[in-house]
Amino acid sequence: ETGVTQSPTHLIKTRGQQVTLRCSSQSGHNTVSWYQQALGQGPQFIFQYYREEENGRGNFPPRFSGLQFPNYSSELNVNALELDDSALYLCASSLGPEVDTQYFGPGTRLTVL
């Protein structure tokens, strides 16, 4: 059973650019949640996808968008990058929307210059 994987591991972008982060769910999991973790803070919920539909969203602007594919892998897209978008982006997969069964990936470290 493979765990949750994320790519790339690290990424450097400049302000105004667009970025796509990828997440491969644990086998059999149909739910993916994305989180942003700024330095020295806990993860902040961005949104969740369940069976390819958005199933809840945190307090993030529309330039943060996502997709979930039929194989339940997922993408997080961020447009018009700002310096404050620099953070660790975590995805977590689960068998369903239940919060206690989430399995986190190692994260993608995004730096915006």
Partner 1 sequence: DQQVKQNSPSLSVQEGRISILNCDYTNSMFDYFLWYKKYPAEGPTFLISISSIKDKNEDGRFTVFLNKSAKHLSLHIVPSQPGDSAVYFCAASRAELNDMRFGAGTRLTVKP
Question: Which residues are CB-neighbours of 62 under 8 A, at least 6 positions away?
Answer: none
CB 93 within 8 A of CB 102: yes
Give the nearer residue to partner 1 in terms of CB position, either 15 or 54.
54
Least separation in angstroms between residue 86's CB and partner 1 is: 17
Give the nearer residue to partner 1 in terms of CB position, either 1 or 100.
100
Give the nearer residue to partner 1 in terms of CB position, either 8 or 16.
8
For the sheet with 74-78, list strands across it.
5-7, 19-24, 74-78, 64-68
Across 24-60, b (16+ Cβ under 10 Å) vs e yields bbbeebbbbbbbbeeeeeebeebbbbbeeeebeeeeb
Least separation in angstroms between residue 23's CB and partner 1 is: 11
Least separation in angstroms between residue 65's CB and partner 1 is: 17
Task: Note the residues at the interface with partner 1 (CB under 8 A).
Answer: 4, 33, 35, 40-45, 48, 55-56, 58, 90, 92, 97, 99-107
Least separation in angstroms between residue 52's CB and partner 1 is: 15
